[in-house]
Each structure stands twice: as structure tokens, then as C-alpha cells.
């Protein structure tokens, strides 16, 4: 599914074009790449450690979290990503990407691992099968108006947040679906599907902050 036209167009977030990777092992890589390119980023499809080392930020796309986990080990990407997260690389995970950022997975399959970095517990497939996918509107005060049109596809939820984690959005019943901790950002839903660029803009803003801190 291709994204619709983004709802907002960001001004450049860093001097020149920031280099933002999309982990391209499995999942909805194309949608993220298109949205980031629209925002003026130089998009790199990341499959190897040397490609990861060259980017200023990273997107972990939706897909199958267990498959991405396994492939990251096959391609030698697990430890480099973990190290990059520890080093402060700005990372945004959607759906499966959020699961991969979680320090704890409540119901992972046997042997499943995550990259970690975010002090949250996430439950996979919290809303059931793909046929039970749905759309709704969410209030995310950090983004301002309008409300976020959110598409949930076999989505996870955040069951626990640590003291350093900021809740950005929740469903009406209180279930948490968007979080941020330092340079890490995660959503249960897929803004790239609906063409809402604002979460990706938050990622680019964090890229700019890190570049400023490093004197670039």
C-alpha cells in the first residue's frame, strides 16, 4: 500500500539533507522511504552494518517482528543496531519496529529477541488477527492539530512504561500506542500508510538535535 500525500510538509530538519536509514530486511520499507524522501531526507535502505554506520537516523518498519529479528541476526545487524541505539542514534519504530525497540516483549515467540533501548513492555498482536485491523483518530498533543488518523494492522500495545518514557498517544480505553524515550520513538500504528508525516518529523528533529550536539 502506498502512502497518500503527506498532511504536513516539514522544513529541512538539518543543514543539507539528513541521511535516514530504513531497515530493509522485511516489512513496509517503501512507504517509509517515500515519506522520508518527501520530507527532504536522503534515504538509505539499510541491510548491512556499513550502511547503518553512515546514517543519521533509522526507521524500523512494520512487518513481522520475529522475522525481522531473525534476519537481523542472519545479516549481522542485531549488535550494530543495539550499539547504535546505545550511542544515541535517533530511531523510530512503527508496529513491529516498536516491538523491536522494547526492552521486554510480553508474548514473543520462543527465542524472539529485540534490539531494546526503550524501557517498555510491548504485547504483540494485541488486537487479534489482520482481519481485525482498524482505523481510528488519536489525540497526540505533542503534534498539535489535527488529530492523528491511525491505522492499526495486527498491532502491538504498550503495557508498561518506565519512568523515563513519555506517552504520546493512547486509545480511548487508555491503552498506550505511541511512546518516546530520548532519541527513540515508537508507534503501534502506521502513519506512513495514511501519509501523516508528523512522527517522521519528530525523528528528523531528533536527528537535527544530535547533529547540533556533535557540532555538525
For residue 37, the domain's CATH number is 3.40.50.880
Residue 4 lies in a domain: no
Residue 5 lies in a domain: no
Residue 6 lies in a domain: no
Element of type H or E holding 119: strand 118-123
The list of the chain residues with pLDDT below 50 reads: 1-15
Cα diameter, the chain: 48
Q: Which of 31, 32, 192, 201 is catalytic?
A: 192
Residue 9 lies in a domain: no
Are 42 and 202 contacting, i.e. CB atoms less than 8 angstroms apart?
no
Residue 53 lies in a domain: yes
Residues in CB range of 200: below 8 A, 6 or more apart: 32, 35, 36, 39, 59, 92, 191, 192
Determine the pLDDT at residue 202.
97
Q: Please confirm, yes or no, whether 38 is among the known catalytic residues.
A: no
Q: Which of 31, 32, 190, 201 is catalytic?
A: 190
pTM, entire model: 0.90
Q: Please confirm, yes or no, whether 79 is among the known catalytic residues.
A: no
Give the C-alpha separation, 4 to 149, whole Å.
12
Residue 14 lies in a domain: no
Residue 163 lies in a domain: yes
Determine the pLDDT at residue 30.
94
Are 6 and 196 contacting, i.e. CB atoms less than 8 angstroms apart?
yes
Residue 44 lies in a domain: yes
Model pLDDT for residues 24-62, shown as the tens digit of each residue? 999 999 999 999 999 999 999 999 999 999 999 999 999
Q: Please confirm, yes or no, whether 190 is among the known catalytic residues.
A: yes
**At 13, is the secondary structure helix, strand, or coil?**
coil
Determine the pLDDT at residue 113.
96
Total structural domains within the chain: 1
Are 194 and 34 contacting, i.e. CB atoms less than 8 angstroms apart?
no
Going by the DSSP 8-state scheme, the letter that residue 193 receives in this structure is H
Element of type H or E holding 84: helix 78-86
What are 185's strand-pairing partners? 92, 180
154: left (phi over 0), alpha (psi -120 to 50) or beta: left
Determine the pLDDT at residue 73.
97
Q: Grid coordinates 544515541 are at which residue?
A: 88
Determine the pLDDT at residue 8.
42
Residues in CB range of 92: below 8 A, 6 or more apart: 57, 58, 59, 60, 184, 185, 186, 187, 199, 200, 202, 203
Give the C-alpha separation, 124 to 127, whole Å.
9
Q: 157 lies in which domain range?
A: 19-213
Q: Which of 32, 38, 79, 95 is catalytic?
A: 95
Going by the DSSP 8-state scheme, the letter that residue 74 receives in this structure is H
Amino acid at each position: 500500500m502506498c502512502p497518500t500525500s503527506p498532511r504536513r510538509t516539514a522544513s529541512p530538519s538539518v543543514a543539507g539533507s539528513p541521511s535516514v536509514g530504513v531497515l530493509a530486511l522485511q516489512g513496509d520499507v517503501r512507504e517509509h522511504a517515500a515519506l522520508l524522501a518527501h520530507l527532504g531526507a536522503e534515504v538509505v535502505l539499510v541491510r548491512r552494518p556499513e550502511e547503518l554506520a553512515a546514517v543519521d537516523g533509522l526507521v524500523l518498519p512494520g512487518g513481522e517482528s520475529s522475522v525481522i529479528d531473525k534476519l537481523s541476526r542472519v545479516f549481522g545487524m542485531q549488535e550494530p543496531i543495539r550499539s547504535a541505539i546505545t550511542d544515541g542514534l535517533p530511531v523510530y519504530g512503527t508496529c513491529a519496529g516498536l516491538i523491536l525497540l522494547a526492552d521486554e516483549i510480553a508474548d514473543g515467540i520462543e527465542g524472539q529477541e529485540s534490539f531494546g533501548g526503550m524501557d517498555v513492555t510491548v504485547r504483540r498482536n494485541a488486537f487479534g488477527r489482520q482481519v481485525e485491523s482498524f482505523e481510528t483518530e488519536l489525540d497526540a498533543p505533542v503534534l498539535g492539530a489535527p488529530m492523528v488518523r491511525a491505522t492499526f494492522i495486527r498491532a502491538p500495545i504498550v503495557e508498561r512504561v518506565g519512568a523515563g518514557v513519555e506517552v504520546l498517544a493512547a486509545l480511548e480505553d487508555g491503552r498506550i500506542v505511541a511512546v518516546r524515550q530520548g532519541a527513540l520513538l515508537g508507534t503501534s500504528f502506521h502513519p506512513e500508510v495514511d501519509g501523516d508525516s508528523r512522527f517522521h518529523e519528530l525523528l528528523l528533529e531528533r536527528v537535527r538535535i544530535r547533529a547540533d550536539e556533535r557540532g555538525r
